[in-house]
Structure 1
Amino acid sequence: MLQAQSITKEDSTLRTFKIKEGASDKFTFFFEVPNRYNENSAYDWLDAVQLDLVEAQEDNDSISIRKFKIMQSQIYHDLGDYDKSVAIANELYKQKSSLDLNTKRILLDLMDYNYARLHMYDKQLEIRKEKKAIGLSKNVATYDIYANLGLPRKAMQDYIMEVMKTISEDDHYSLAKYNNNIGNYLRLDNSSSVALSKFKEAKGHIDIFLNDITNTRTEKEIVEANYLKGIIEGNIGRCYAQLRQYKEAIPWLEGSIITIKEFNKGKFSSDVVENTLELAECHLQLGNYEKARNYLKADLEPRKIENLLKKNRALAAYYDKIQDYKNVSFYLKKNVRINDSINVYESALRTQQLAALTSQDLENSRNQMQEQKLALEKSRLDLQAKEERINLVFISLIFTLLGFAGLVYAYLRSIKTQRLIAEQKYIIEASLVEKDSLLKEIHHRVKNNLQMVSSLLSLQTKNTRSKAAIEALEEGKSRVKAMALIHQKLYQNDDLSVIEMQGYIESLINSIQSVYKKGGHNINITIDAEGTELDIDRAIPFGLILNELVSNSFKYAFPTDDENGKIYIHLRKNGDQGYFEYTDNGIGLPEDTEERTSSSMGIRLMNRLVNQLQSTLNIDKTADGVRFWFKFK
């Protein structure tokens, strides 16, 4: 059963790591996966990396050996075994010339973290100098080292000078980290109330970052942000404890421990140790001795001397409260022995490390002075270039003034020419207006003459008794009206060159309906010609063709006066190509249509009109009605 659970548990990031091909893929996956110890412990990972390392050593694959050793060093660091981690890293550091830049960056960052945890700040400075030398950083930062050596005010000043200018207003993660660090320096300087406001500001920024749904976050970013949130919450709790507000401190400290363990799972965290010790202190102060004892007896394993001393002090205070003076004496003596063993050594080491820091500060100052000197030289060259540009501008101004004088002279001469042009323009515009008026008058008179012809045909109809003659006269009158309507639309348009066909077709349909007063109102007519314009040479044939088709539909297509009668007219013209289609759902054409084609006046007229449009009339018999269509240019 236990074996089955173990297999299920390994369906995780560790399993994915194991099936990766090659050291490079495993190396990349190892350092990119967030919260890698979520399902499997660091010791499980250490075993897996150790197996790969042995295999690489058997194959004498030096590149793979280095990559697996860096992973091994990182796991020991995560476990809090900084001595072993830095020993492996130091061995690899001797081969730094054979490492690519990304691998070198990971190794140097790892050594930086290890030396910080081991309080070997002079070594940490050497690593940071190496980073600057190979271009991984712009300068050698010292503010965190000053804070660790007990100079938080100096650390805060340097940190603000170096970091504040690099953060944008909308980078909430960086702002959270920045305010948390400032709060830490203030807390270490015993400015707890001011530090508390900075930690709360940091908490606000990290909450905005995590709750911002407008930006997509990677899983790694979310894990890192939640881990930072846990650290900030712990710092808020510590501030409350320093201010003796123990009840307020407890929920912050407890929440911090839960968050850090969730998002830093499997890694040793000094923040968890310090927050647990602070919780024990809060419960001691509140009289909750058993709760304090439970926290102090937890598997804390403090790695920092100050945390070990704090734990011993808290245990001594606990045993004092319960009047177990033997244990009080035991833990106080332990602290005395620890202090005696480190006082002389730490004093000399601190002096040495401060000297190294001072030396680095002097070097940084010299670098800044050199940068300022280069900036001043650049400014001098820029001023010199500006003076040269000013001289060029002055010379250019003189030539510009001379040119302007020539332009004024040319302008004065052009005024007379412009007046002549304006007079000619006025004459031309007047001529065009007169021409438009004449053309409109001509179209109006043609329309009136055609209406007179239509009236004559109407008179002739009244004086004719032959039914065939009356029908012929009515057809002729309809055709004359179709042409008259063209001229009417033209003289009503501002543009005399083209006719808007949608409006023309609608007017033509209305005119035909007035002649055939029977089923026109029961027939649904759809006109699809919006935006199509034709010149008069095309519009007149179209008008006559449409007149014939609509008249035929009214006369023959719907003999039963069917209310479901439909006519569809489609006309489009794109560039040089046009398309016309006419359909109705009437009774259709008779069986002998082809024999009648040669004798039908309407069909022959439409064929000739389509020929004028350089096309051929197509007639399709459909299951329901008839379809006429043709393409034109």
Structure 2
Amino acid sequence: MEYRIFTKDREMRWVDERTFIQRDEECRAIYFQGVVIDITERKLAEEALSRADQIRKKEINHRIKNNLQIVSSLLDLQAEKFSDKQVTEAFKESENRIVSMSLIHEELYESGNLDFLDFSSYIRKLTTDLCRSYSTESLSIVVNLNVNTVFLGVDTAVSLGIIINELFTNSIKYAFPQGKGGEIKVELLKEKTSEVTGEKEISGKKPILKDPGEIQGVYEQFTLVFADNGRGMPEELDIKNPKSLGLQLVNALVSQIEGSLELRREKGTEFRIKFRDAIQDTR
């Protein structure tokens, strides 16, 4: 057992206390031996290594962000050489995908938390950038966000950022008749908390056998809602087997975060993505 103590000189030291028990043939304890080892130097070395690792990760995120911004700028410059609308739109869509990833690393770098991030802050920056990219004000399109402060793991946040980027692009391109305007709504709803144990998931519903490779812990259940009040998706569209690259990407990313995708067609188009993420300790 490791713990801290204070010497009579008020100096803090780390110690490792170990106890050994000797038993007789009938397993009765007949002898105890204890030892307390000063491990202060080891603890200080571990803390120094941890701080160095944090600095290294922060610098990596900074460099990734800068490199992604360079790639985005190169795509923007390359797009200017083409006059074909389909080609320039393809460049813009690729550029926005890269920006959605770059913003993740910017958020990580600025916050100092390198394994998870404030998703509400990230999503506001992302939608602001998308509105600027597609000039939504000139198109009379209003974007409403309902995302409270919540911390998500980096892998989950990256996937959701690209998903929102794809759905946003799809709405801008197809949902609203030219000159009519409309509304886009993004919500993140917290559903419930579940615990993954060695055998099953406890979530108030039927127990689910746990994947042997799954990390144990406590998870929060979420629903990401992306909706617009535009013309709606064609009835013949199979959301599970779409032909467009953007929706194919959405399906792939939903599977990647082990979520589920639902399409509703009442009063426009509404996508509901259910997923879960490990509860993050932000202290």
TM-score after normalising by structure 2? 0.70
RCO comparison, higher one (Cα < 8 Å, 6+): 2
2:72 pairs, out of 450, 454, 459, with 454
Partner of 1:569: 186
Structure ID, larger Rg: 1
Specify which structure has the higher proportion of helix.
1
Deviation at 1:422, TM superposition (A): 4.7
Partner of 1:507: 125
Mapped to 2, the partners of 1:588 and 1:519 lie a distance apart of 21
Mapped to 1, the partners of 2:137 and 2:170 lie a distance apart of 12
Partner of 1:429: 47
Cα 1:421–1:582 change in 2 (3 A) is same
Partner of 2:203: none
Cα deviations by residue, 1:555-607 (Å, 9 ceiling, x for unpaired):
222224345x2222111344322211111111111344239953211111100
Cα deviations by residue, 1:322-380 (Å, 9 ceiling, x for unpaired):
xxxxxxxxxxxxxxxxxxxxxxxxxxxxxxxxxxxxxxxxxxxxxxxxxxxxxxxxxxx
What SS does the aligned partner of 1:561 have? coil
Give 1:608-623 correspondences, 5 Å limit: 608-622=252-266
Partner of 1:553: 171
1:630 pairs, out of 259, 273, 283, with 273
Partner of 2:85: 467
Partner of 1:486: 104
Mapped to 1, the partners of 2:148 and 2:107 lie a distance apart of 16
Cα 1:517–1:526 change in 2 (3 A) is closer
Q: Which runs of 5+ in 1 are unaligned?
A: 1-409
What SS does the aligned partner of 1:495 have? coil
Cα 1:428–1:521 change in 2 (3 A) is farther
Cα deviations by residue, 1:203-257 (Å, 9 ceiling, x for unpaired):
xxxxxxxxxxxxxxxxxxxxxxxxxxxxxxxxxxxxxxxxxxxxxxxxxxxxxxx
Cα 1:436–1:561 change in 2 (3 A) is farther
Cα 1:469–1:421 change in 2 (3 A) is same
Q: How big is the alpha-carbon RMSD for the aligned residues of Structure 1 and Structure 2?
A: 2.8
Deviation at 1:485, TM superposition (A): 0.6
Mapped to 2, the partners of 1:610 and 1:567 lie a distance apart of 20
What SS does the aligned partner of 2:238 have? helix
Mapped to 1, the partners of 2:246 and 2:76 lie a distance apart of 20
> Identity of aligned pairs, percent?
35
Cα 1:415–1:441 change in 2 (3 A) is closer
Mapped to 1, the partners of 2:248 and 2:100 lie a distance apart of 18
1:583 to 2:227 alignment? yes
The answer to whether the 8 Å contact 1:532/1:572 transfers is no
TM-score after normalising by structure 1? 0.33
The answer to whether the 8 Å contact 1:497/1:535 transfers is yes
Deviation at 1:611, TM superposition (A): 0.6
Cα 1:515–1:463 change in 2 (3 A) is same
Cα deviations by residue, 1:392-437 (Å, 9 ceiling, x for unpaired):
xxxxxxxxxxxxxxxxxx9569969659655444433332222111
Mapped to 2, the partners of 1:416 and 1:531 lie a distance apart of 37
What SS does the aligned partner of 1:605 have? helix
Mapped to 1, the partners of 2:146 and 2:14 lie a distance apart of 49
The answer to whether the 8 Å contact 1:519/1:554 transfers is no
Q: Which runs of 5+ in 2 are unaligned?
A: 1-5, 16-37, 194-218, 277-283
